[in-house]
Amino acid sequence: MKLLRYGPPGLEKPGMLDSSGTIRDLSGIVPDIAGSVLSPEGLKRLAALDPSSLPAVAGRPRLGPPVSGMKQLLCIGLNYADHAAEAGMPIPKEPILFLKANGALCGPDDDVIIPRGSSKTDWEVELCIIIGTTARGVSEDAALDHVAGYAVGNDVSEREWQLERGGTWDKGKGCDSFGPVGPWLVTKDELPDPQALPMFLDVDGQRMQTGSTATMIFGVKQIVSYVSRFITLHPGDIIFTGTPPGVGMGMKPAPVFLKPGQTMRLGIAGLGEQNQKVVGA
């Protein structure tokens, strides 16, 4: 099942993508894709619906983030060994956990805004975990019981601010528009193995990143269990799980960063694609 939210920013309605690719309006069934709707019982109720009985949404509306009501956007850093190598950093012995400001969250095709003063804005295609039920100190064996599904994410990053401005990654990760997620939430029953998903990212049609979640150092079960030891996870919370190699700061012979007017296209098998235009602030 593919769940989504469509409409203008701040006014999104809940929806479902049917097998023909048509958006079906869920606003008569649930108020939003949030809270208890993401629980096993809530998802079971939606899965039992006949999509053809729901109103079809005309045209190609803007898609917002596929969930709302999250308390946290969390990220795992350097979770692919080859990306750690291109960044010149050691392979972590346990997950590197940092936060991304909730204000960074945006729709999958919204513009990515290069902030004023930025010279090193970069891209990162990532698998996002979307939490369905509260997780606090859960075991790896029970971790997936708390996952509603998965989505594509672009962990846009300002590398100077992340790495050269005082040692905290957050200030280079939380700018407005630095967290596109979507186009939809794909429930975990459609992706029984989240550790076997090819992924890619193009800039202006040139392939920059090619990878697979199979090469993650810490997998989905480990990440959910690990994070829940330190931070209680709530329905709708999103975890960005790291990126494969091919980011701009790792390019040889010299780093390459985003400029206004460029476009990004990125996707993960089974989860859909994003398309973003890069604009100046």
Say what the pLDDT of residue 141 is.
Answer: 98
Distance CA 205, CA 254 (A): 20
Q: What are phi and psi of 134, to 5 degrees?
A: -55, 130
Residue 234 has pLDDT above 80, yes or no: yes
Identify the helix (H) or strand (E) that includes residue 223.
helix 220-230
Structural domains for the chain: 2-53 (no CATH), 73-280 (3.90.850.10)
Model confidence pTM above 0.85 = yes
Q: What's the pLDDT band for 167 if we cut at 50, 70, 90? A: confident
- Residue type present at position 272: G
- Tell me the chain's radius of gyration from C-alpha atoms: 18
Q: How far is CA 160 from CA 84, 121, 150, 268, in A?
A: 17, 8, 30, 28
Q: What are phi and psi of 146, to 5 degrees?
A: -100, 5
Say what the pLDDT of residue 209 is.
Answer: 97
Tell me the average pLDDT of the chain: 96
- DSSP-H helix ranges across 21-157: 40-47, 81-86, 140-143
Say what the pLDDT of residue 81 is.
Answer: 83
Percent of the chain with pLDDT over 70: 100
Residue 15 has pLDDT above 80, yes or no: yes
Residue 224 has pLDDT above 90, yes or no: yes
Q: What's the pLDDT band for 206 if we cut at 50, 70, 90? A: very high
